[in-house]
Amino acid sequence: MHEFFGTDGIRGEVGKAPITADFLLKVGWAVGSVLRESGNASVIIGKDTRVSGYLFESALEAGFLSAGVNVGLLGPMPSPAIAYLTQAFGATAGVVISASHNQFQDNGVKFFSSKGVKLSDEIQKAIEEKISSTMVSVDSASIGKAKRYGQAVGRYIEFCKSTFDKNWDLSNLKIVIDCANGATYHIAEDVFTELGASVVMINNQPDGYNINRDCGATDTKHLQQEVLDQNADIGIAFDGDGDRLIMVDHKGEKVDGDELIFIIADSWKKNGHLKSNTVVGTKMTNLGIRDALSDLGINFIEAEVGDRHVMDQLIKNHAVLGGEGSGHIICLNKSTSGDGIIAALQVLEVLCKSEQSLYNLKKKMNKYPQVLINIKTEAEVNLINNERLSDAVKVIESKLSDKGRVLIRKSGTEPLIRVMVESIDSDLAAESANYLAEIIQSK
């Protein structure tokens, strides 16, 4: 178990350990020192639009330079762009300063290897050991150099466009794009307009504080209304660091990650692109989607919650498509990490080729009503040895039979307990979820 590295790098509230400038200075030095052990090393650093990004960019930069590592500064860039650009620029590692879908008070840092994937457990362990040692700078002749890369945005835009079939374009689509005031604010418009779409942009004016605030993939109400007001064909929502995608159809209805994965899977199965005939989801993946995949003869593999676990199962099973209802969608035949823009392009390609609307495509399966309640917890809550909760779950599971299920889990990124009940009967799902939430909240 790592002391500092969580399921998605190091993340927390700005100003509280470990998300402080002095600690991230040490992290930069520690990572740089480990990378230098194999010879000369270089890293690239990207960030989202949080005000604290400037602070932590400078701290990490100083740490890397003091370890003798050269640094390329990219400025605001989506996390998946760093995964790609680490390979494109031949860097030893890529660094993203972001807390993804969280609001501006939080920040974090995650790393990609030279191949655009997460650092191995062995390297993470070596970094943690180095963090615990005394920081010693290299001599002045060995200090690293830093430069800003001006061409990074253009290269990533071209890469995204290259994942869309060049025999087609988006000229018949009007799209509303919600950038969550995050890292896609200066990229998304160019990608979609250069492929021919008519684009309306919202929440693309970041001020350092408004990232993910009442917008983006975690809150689509504004986008849903804008799609209706603009009489648009489709709405696209990203989160703060651009690795999540939620869409909205022309009727203003939200289409989540599970539904989008199904739409891509259905198309890829038909054209022979669905390697291993397999889709990877998680424990949270909707039962209706699983049933529909089964009806198409597509294997479904359930991973633990979190895109890192989805990625592990994709690699293990030689599959190329997986993700979560929250909008993490991994198309491994297109990129090395979950990428909101690239996932959106795959869905739009299906729309163009099938000549069907997103609304009609999602109707090919029946999604089970799913009720999710997030319970804030300050103190540690024991979910395992709670007899009253266990008894209540058993009663509810017997009511749901094989047409529903219960999942109670602690969040890996926030102080929350998530209660999810899924049932073909929406009223039963809501009633059951509320009852379980009351039991967890009662001392």
d(CA 98, CA 245): 17
Count how many residues are written for the chain. Answer: 443
- Going from the C-alpha of 151 to that of each of 11, 74, 95, 240, the distances in angstroms are 29, 9, 17, 22
3-class DSSP state for residue 254?
Answer: strand
d(CA 30, CA 244): 30
10 Å Cβ neighbour count for 329?
28
Question: Cβ contacts of residue 316 below 8 Å, gap of 6+?
Answer: none
- The most distant pair of C-alpha atoms in the chain lies apart, rounded to whole Å, by 71
Active-site residue list: 100
d(CA 32, CA 19): 18
| Parallel/antiparallel/unpaired status of strands 174-178 and 146-148 | unpaired
Residue 302 carries which side chain, given as an amino acid letter? E
| Parallel/antiparallel/unpaired status of strands 278-282 and 299-303 | parallel
Secondary structure (DSSP) of 336-357: SS--HHHHHHHHHHHHHHHT--
d(CA 39, CA 117): 20
Whether the Cβ atoms of residue 331 and residue 264 lie closer than 8 Å to each other: yes
Question: Which residue is associated with the tokens 């020192």?
Answer: 33
What are the respective helix, strand and coil percentages of the chain, to the nearest 5?
A: 40, 20, 40
d(CA 234, CA 192): 12
**DSSP-H helix ranges across 47-94:** 53-66, 79-88
How is residue 161 written in tokens?
Answer: 């466009």
Whether the Cβ atoms of residue 323 and residue 256 lie closer than 8 Å to each other: no
Q: Which residues pair with 280 in a beta bridge?
A: 301, 322
d(CA 237, CA 77): 16
